[in-house]
């Protein structure tokens, strides 16, 4: 049984296009028709750009047609502001490549997630640090004429707090404020603990809030909002079933190297392994999420990086070294 089939059986969604691509390519042993991949290397980050070009690839990847950019930067774990600033500038460069805006076009930034739950608080935290300027259009228009784009921001909370679908709140704000673009920031679920708070995914296809933890909500995309949506996501959790399955796979690989045990390993039924994982996780099965104990510090660091990258991309007249001076 391949990993993709196991994830389907356990209801585990793959949020990151790069991980979906690696899983499919690993199982088939060949490139995926209708998918292009390009890599760029920077001093403190590796950037992978995946483009899903055809509907046939959509079925295989489980991702809509569009561009998916992943920035892998393990050094985010270090408490080094200089490195963090450089990663924010890389994010700004990649985001700028997706922006199709005129100088006077307005943007709505939406921080998705639950501010009461640290692993899910990335979106609201990014909004706290984002340079918003829409109010200046009325009270200080000379500042906007100096090169600041008209930007507004919203952290709508989650259905369990507001009783209102997140997409409904955003839709109402969009109808009132008429932005030309939405940038939605959300926490993701990864298939690897190494990616927690060290990978950033950008996508021009919008976002499905809660998909990584199995809560399917109304999508936030061009079709539902009426304006283009760029999604920025950062993994903050890993499904425990993924970790358990990975541990079993590693154990069996080690066991298979033993000539005495190798035949027994070949005879193990994959369904049995799936049942073992479910048994170990008990009633939580595919709903148990794992996050590191230092997630508070990681969320703080990554939210500043994301907000910095977004602000630099949207306000090109602001010096990257000075954008923190504009926050209040």
- Give backbone dihedrals phi and psi of 8, rounded to 5 degrees, phi first: -65, -45
Closest by Cα among 76, 78, 45, 50 to 63: 50
φ/ψ region of 277 (left if φ > 0, alpha if ψ in -120 to 50, else beta) reads alpha
pLDDT bracket for residue 189 (50, 70, 90)? very high
Within a 10 A sphere around the Cβ of 296, how many other Cβ atoms? 12
- What DSSP element (H or E) covers 314? helix 295-314
Distance CA 271, CA 292 (A): 30
pLDDT band with cut points at 50, 70 and 90 for residue 83 = very high
DSSP category for residue 316 = T
The answer to whether 73 and 193 have CB atoms below 8 angstroms apart is no
> Rounded distance, CA 101 to CA 277, Å?
48
Tokens of 323: 């954008």
Contact 108, 181 (CB under 8 A): yes
Lowest mean pLDDT segment, chosen from 44-53, 92-101, 309-318: 309-318
Residue 176: pLDDT above 90? yes
Question: In sequence order, which ranges of 115-183 are alpha helices (DSSP H)?
Answer: 122-129, 136-139, 141-145, 159-162, 166-177
Residue 156's nearest CA partner among 124, 118, 120 is 124
Does the pLDDT value for residue 325 go beyond 60? no
Task: Return the beta strands (E) in the chain as ranges.
Answer: 35-41, 46-52, 66-72, 107-111, 151-154, 181-190, 199-203, 229-239, 289-290
**What are the structural domains of the chain?**
3-243+284-326 (3.40.50.1450)
- Would strands 199-203 and 66-72 be described as parallel, antiparallel, or unpaired? antiparallel
Q: Give the range among 118-122, 142-146, 157-161 with minimum mean pLDDT.
A: 142-146
Mean pLDDT of 103-129: 93
What does the pLDDT average to over 294-321?
89
Q: How many CA atoms lie within 13 A of 140 on its CB side?
A: 11
Ramachandran bin of 282, using left for φ above 0, alpha for ψ from -120 to 50, beta for the remaining angles = left
> For position 213, what pLDDT does the model report?
46
Query: Which of 33-47, 60-74, 268-282 is least confident?
Result: 268-282
SS (H, E, C) 107-118: EEEEECCCCCCH
pTM: 0.89
pLDDT band at 181 (very low <50, low <70, confident <90, very high): very high
């Amino acid at each position: 049984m391949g990993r993709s089939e196991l994830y389907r059986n356990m209801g585990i969604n793959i949020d990151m296009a790069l991980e979906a691509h690696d899983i499919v390519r690993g199982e088939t042993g060949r490139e995926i028709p209708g998918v292009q991949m390009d890599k760029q290397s920077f001093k403190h980050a590796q950037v992978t750009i995946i483009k899903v070009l055809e509907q046939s690839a959509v079925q295989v990847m489980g991702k809509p047609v569009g561009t998916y950019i992943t920035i892998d930067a393990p050094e985010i774990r270090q408490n080094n502001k200089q490195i963090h600033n450089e990663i924010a500038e890389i994010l700004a460069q990649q985001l700028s490549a997706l922006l199709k805006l005129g100088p006077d076009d307005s943007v709505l930034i939406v921080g998705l997630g639950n501010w009461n739950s640290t692993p899910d608080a990335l979106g609201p935290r990014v909004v706290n640090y984002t340079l918003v300027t829409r109010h200046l259009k009325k009270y200080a228009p000379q500042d906007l004429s100096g090169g600041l784009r008209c930007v507004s921001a919203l952290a709508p909370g989650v259905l369990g707090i507001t009783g209102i679908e997140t997409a409904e709140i955003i839709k109402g704000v969009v109808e009132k404020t008429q932005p030309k673009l939405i940038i939605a920031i959300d926490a993701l679920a990864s298939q690897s603990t190494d990616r927690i708070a060290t990978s950033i995914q950008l996508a021009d296809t919008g976002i499905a809030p809660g998909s990584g933890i199995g809560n399917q909500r109304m999508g936030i995309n061009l079709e539902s909002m009426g304006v283009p949506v760029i999604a920025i996501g950062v993994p903050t959790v890993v499904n425990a079933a993924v970790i358990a399955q990975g541990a079993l796979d590693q154990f069996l690989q080690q066991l298979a190297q033993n000539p005495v045990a190798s035949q027994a390993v070949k005879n193990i039924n994959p369904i049995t392994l799936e049942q073992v994982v479910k048994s170990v996780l008990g009633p939580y099965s595919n709903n148990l999420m794992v996050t590191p104990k230092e997630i508070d510090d990681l969320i703080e660091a990554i939210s500043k990086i994301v907000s910095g990258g977004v602000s630099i991309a949207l306000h090109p007249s602001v010096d990257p070294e000075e954008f923190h001076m504009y926050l209040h």
